Amino acid sequence: MLKERVIKIALILASTISILTTFGILFSILFEAISFFQLRSFWYFLTGTTWSPGVIGSQFGAVPIFAGTLMITFIAMAVALPVGLGSAIYMSEYATGRTRDYLKPVLEILAGIPTVVYGFFAAITVAPFVVKAADFFGLEATFNSALASGIVMGIMIIPVISSLSDDVIRAVPDSQRKASLGLGMTQGETIKNIVLPSALPGIISATLLGFSKAIGETMIVVMAAGLRPNLSFNPLEDMTTVTVRIVDALVGDQAFNSPETLSAFALGLALFVVTLFLNIISLMMIRKFKEKYKVNTL
Amino acid sequence: MIKRNNKHIDNPFYDPTLNGRHRKSKRFKAFTATSLIFSIAFLIFFLYDMISKGTPAFEQAYIKVDVTYNEESIENSRTAISSEYLGVVSRAWLREIPRHVEQNPSLMGQTISVWALADDQVDQYLKGHYYKLKRKDRALIDDLKAYGNVELKFNKIFFTNGDSKIPEFAGLNSAVIGSILTLIITMLFAFPIGVMTAIYLEEFADDNKFTQTIEVNINNLAAIPSILFGLLGLAIFINLFGLPRSSPLVGGLTLALMTLPIIIVSSRAALRAVPDSIRQAGYGLGLTKIEVTRDHVLPLAFPGILTGSIIGLAQAMGETAPLIIIGMIAFIPDAPSSVFHAATVMPAQLFTWSGMPERMYVEKTAAGIMVLLTILISLNSFAIYLRKKYEVKW
C-alpha cells in the first residue's frame, strides 16, 4: 500500500506547518532582535526611560512604551471585564433559550468587526467625545488620549471574554445550582457563591486571553493612540504602545539594518514572550476546569 | 418596624435579611442585563454613526459645463472649459479629457455640454460640511444651483476607480481586486493544509508527543498577536525568500498562516461529529482507512469544514496589521494584474484614507467601512445558514 503511505506522509507534513509557523515567528523575530541587541544595550532596552529613535544618539529605553501598553490594556480590561462577564452571566443564567438565540449573534457581530474599523471609530468619534467630556469637567484631554483607544479596545474584547465565560458558566453542572437554591439561597447568591467560583478557572482563562488580545492589538492604537512615548498615569494624555512603535519603525524608509528598524523586532520579541506566557497560563486554567467537570466541548 | 416584625413572630423560618437579599439578587440581575444592553447599544450607535457618516459618500457633486474638444484642449486640458469654472471642476476629471477623445474620436472639434465631476470642496459645500471655497467660486455654485446645473448624483467613481490623491477621484476598486487576489492565495494555502492537518489529527494520529506538540501549537498560533505574523512575513517571505514586497502573494501567505488554526479547529470539530458507526461500517465492508475517510467521513463533515473556512476567510479579510508590516499600504491607484504586483487590500485602503487630511476622505472611509461590513456580515450569515442547513443530529 504505497499510496496509503504517501497520503499519510502528506498529512503529517501538512500538520507540521503549524509547528514550523510558530518556530518561524520565534526565530525570525529572535535573530533580528539579537542583531538589535548587538547594536544597543539589552538592559537599557528593558530599563531605560528614553525612547528617541531617528535622532543623533538615538536611545531605545522601552519602559515608557511598556507603561503606555499597560495603561491602555488596563483601561480596555476595565471596560471589557465587567461588561463581558455580566453579559455572559445574563446569557447563561437569566436569559431564556430564545432570547439567547437572538443575543448571541449580536455579540458575534461585535467580534466580527475588523479592528481597522474600530480604530477609525475610536479616532473619529470617540476621541473628540473624550476631549469634549474632559473639557466639560474642566480637564484637558488630547485627541490621541489613552482613554479613547482603551475604551474602544475594551469593546472589541467584550466578545472574547463573554463567549468563553458563557461556555464555562454553562458547563457548571446544574445540580450545584439546584442544591444551592434548595438550601434557600437567592439566585444572585447562587451565581456569586456557587457558579462563579466553580467557573473561576475558565473565567481567569478568558480574562488572560482578553489581556493578551489587548496587548497585541494594533490597528486601534495605531489609529487612535499617540506616537509619543509618555511615562504618565493620566489616561487623558497621549501614550504609545509596543504595537504602535513596531508599525512606526517598519513603515519608514530607514535601511533595514539600522537600529531604528531593528528595534521593531526587539519590541516584537517582548510582545511574543508576554503573550505566549499569558496564553500558556490561560490554556492551563481551562484544562484545569475541564478536568474538574470532565467537559470536552470547550 | 416592631409591628412589621411581630407579623412574623410565629414563623420560625422567618429571615429578617431575606428582603434585602432578594433586593441584592435583583440588583445583580439588573447589572448583568445592563452590561448586555451596553454591548447592544454600542453596536447600534456604532452602526448608526458609520451609516450617517458614510451614506453621503454614495452621492457626489457634478457640474454641467460646456467642454470644447480640440487640439488645444487635449494638449492643455485646462483650456477645455471656461476659465471661471476651473476652481470648481475636479482637476482629476480635467486630466481625463484626452482619454474621453481617445475612447470616442467623434468628439473631436465639438463643444458639448457635459456633467463634469466637481471639486471635493464643492461637494462638501453642497452637503453642508466644512468647506474651503473662494468667495467667487461659492457664488458661482449658488448661481449654477439656481439653474439646476449642479447636482448630487450617484457616486459611480467610488466603485470603479482606484485610489487617488485627489479625494473626489478616489475609489475602492483596486483595493477590492487586491483583496480578492490576496484571499485567493490565502484560501489556496490555508484550506488544503488546514483540512489535511485536521484529518491527520482526528483520523490517523495516535495520542503521542508529536500530536500533542501540534495541538498545543495550534492553540498558541490562534492566540499570537496578528502583527507578529507581519514580522514573520517580512523576515521570511520578503527578506529570506525574496518574494515581492506589498504583493498579494506575500499578503495571502501571511494571512494563510493566521487563518490556519481557525480552519483546523473547525474542521476537527466537524470530523469528530461524524459518528463512529459510519467508519466501522466502512471497515466492515473491507475498505481501507483512507477510503473510509475520503469517501464517507469527509463528505459528511464537509459542510462543517466549509462553515469554518468561510468564517476564517471573513476574519482574514478584515485583518490589517500584518499587511501594513509587509508594505500593503503603498499608494496603489491601479488594480494589480497579478499576485506579484504591488497591491492594497480593503482594510488597508481604509487605513490610508483615514489618515488623509481632506474632509472628504472621512466620508469615503465610512462608506468603505459600510461596504466591508456588508461583505463580512454576508459571509458570516452565509456560514451560519450553511451550518443550520446541513446540521445533522446523528
| Interface touch B380/A82, C-beta < 8 Å | no
Q: Is residue B343 part of a domain?
A: yes
Distance of CA B196 to the CA centre of its chain: 28
- CA–CA separation, B67 and B2 (whole Å): 95
Please give the residue range of the domain that contains residue B293.
173-390
> Is B253 found in the same domain as B123?
no
Counting Cβ atoms within 10 Å, is residue A278 exposed (0-12), middle (13-18) or buried (19+)?
buried
Q: What is the mean pLDDT of residues B72-80?
A: 80
Q: Is residue B52 part of a domain?
A: no
pLDDT tens-place string over residues A188-208: 999 999 999 999 999 999 999
> Is B145 found in the same domain as B235?
no
CATH of the domain at B234: 1.10.3720.10
| Interface touch B318/A113, C-beta < 8 Å | yes
> Is B250 found in the same domain as B333?
yes
> Is B220 found in the same domain as B315?
yes
Which pLDDT value is given to residue B6? Answer: 57
pLDDT tens-place string over residues B322-370: 999 998 887 888 888 888 888 899 999 999 999 888 888 999 999 999 9
Q: Is residue B240 part of a domain?
A: yes
| Interface touch B354/A103, C-beta < 8 Å | no
> Is B238 found in the same domain as B120?
no
pLDDT tens-place string over residues B278-297: 999 999 999 988 899 999 99
Sign of CA dihedral B218, B220, B224, B229: negative
Of B320, B248, B352, B321, which is closest to residue A247 (Cα–Cα)?
B321
> Is B223 found in the same domain as B360?
yes
- The region, left, alpha or beta by phi > 0 then psi within -120 to 50, assigned to residue A172 is beta
Sign of CA dihedral B347, B349, B355, B359: negative
For residues A203 and A82, the answer to whether their CB atoms sit within 8 Å is no
Q: Among partner residues B213, B327, B329, which is closest to A19 by beta-carbon distance? A: B213
| Interface touch A124/B53, C-beta < 8 Å | yes
Which pLDDT value is given to residue B2? Answer: 46
Collapsed DSSP state (helix, strand, coil) of residue B327 = coil
pLDDT tens-place string over residues B81-110: 888 888 888 888 888 888 888 888 888 878
3-state helix/strand/coil string of chain A: CHHHHHHHHHHHHHHHHHHHHHHHHHHHHHHHHHHHHHHCCHHHHHHCCCEECCCCCCEECCHHHHHHHHHHHHHHHHHHHHHHHHHHHHHHHHCCHHHHHHHHHHHHHHHHCCHHHHHHHHHHHHHHHHHHHHHHCCCCCCCCEHHHHHHHHHHHHHHHHHHHHHHHHHHCCHHHHHHHHHCCCCHHHHHHHHHHHHHHHHHHHHHHHHHHHHHHCCHHHHHHCCCCCCCCCCCCCECCCHHHHHHHHHHCCCCCCCHHHHHHHHHHHHHHHHHHHHHHHHHHHHHHHHHHHCCCCC
| Prediction ipTM score | 0.91
Instruction: List CB contacts (< 8 A) between A246 and chain B.
Output: 227, 231, 325
The mean predicted confidence, pLDDT, of chain B is 88
For residues B269 and B194, the answer to whether their CB atoms sit within 8 Å is no
For residues B320 and B351, the answer to whether their CB atoms sit within 8 Å is yes
- CA–CA separation, A137 and B145 (whole Å): 44
State the angle between helix axes of B298-318 and B173-199 in degrees (0 to 180), rounded to the nearest 10. 140
> Is B146 found in the same domain as B232?
no
Q: Is residue B10 part of a domain?
A: no
> Is B264 found in the same domain as B195?
yes
Q: Among partner residues B21, B220, B235, which is closest to A186 by beta-carbon distance? A: B21
pLDDT tens-place string over residues A66-116: 999 999 999 999 999 999 999 999 999 999 889 888 888 888 888 889 999
| Interface touch A218/B320, C-beta < 8 Å | yes
CB count in 10 Å sphere of residue A174: 8
Strand order across the beta sheet in which B59-68 lies: B111-117, B59-68, B150-154
pLDDT tens-place string over residues B172-190: 999 999 999 999 999 999 9
> Is B214 found in the same domain as B264?
yes
Q: What is the mean pLDDT of residues A277-291?
A: 88
Window 138-157 of B: residues touching A by CB (8 A cutoff) are none
Task: Pick the residue of B25, B36, B298, B356 with the most A CBs within 10 A to test the interface with A by mutation.
Answer: B36
Q: Is residue B126 part of a domain?
A: yes
Give the side-chain half-sphere CA count within 13 A for A25: 27
| Interface touch A268/B221, C-beta < 8 Å | no
Q: Is residue B42 part of a domain?
A: no
Task: Pick the residue of A218, A220, A222 with the most B CBs within 10 A to test the interface with B by mutation.
Answer: A218
**Model-wide pTM > 0.95:** no
Element (H, E) at B152: strand B150-154
* % of chain B residues with pLDDT over 90: 46
The mean predicted confidence, pLDDT, of chain A is 90
Count of domains observed in chain B: 2
Counting Cβ atoms within 10 Å, is residue B59 exposed (0-12), middle (13-18) or buried (19+)?
middle
Residue indicated by cell numbers 444651483? B145
Say how many CB pairs under 8 Å bridge A and B: 253
pLDDT band at residue A298, thresholds of 50, 70 and 90? low
> Is B386 found in the same domain as B269?
yes
Q: Which of B125, B153, B181 finishes a domain? A: B153
Determine the residue of chain B that is closest to A275 in CA distance: B224
Name the CA radius of gyration of chain A, rounded: 23
pLDDT reading at B4 higher than 70: no
> Is B221 found in the same domain as B116?
no
CB count in 10 Å sphere of residue B36: 25
Q: Which of B120, B153, B186 finishes a domain? A: B153
Q: Is residue B40 part of a domain?
A: no
Contacts for B36 with CB less than 8 Å, ≥ 6 apart: A86, A87, A90, A91, A103
How many secondary structure helices (H) and strands (E) does chain B include?
Answer: 18, 3
Sign of CA dihedral A159, A165, A170, A174: negative
Measure in Å the smallest separation between the Cα of A212 and chain B Cα atoms. 8
> Is B201 found in the same domain as B90?
no
Q: Which of B118, B153, B188 finishes a domain? A: B153
Q: Among partner residues A14, A121, A272, which is closest to B200 by beta-carbon distance? A: A14
Q: What is the mean pLDDT of residues B210-237?
A: 90
Q: Is residue B79 part of a domain?
A: yes
Q: Among partner residues B239, B290, B355, which is closest to A4 by beta-carbon distance? A: B290
Select the more confidently predicted residue: A157 or A230: A157
State the angle between helix axes of B209-223 and A2-39 in degrees (0 to 180), rounded to the nearest 10. 50
pLDDT reading at B5 higher than 60: no
pLDDT reading at A161 higher than 50: yes
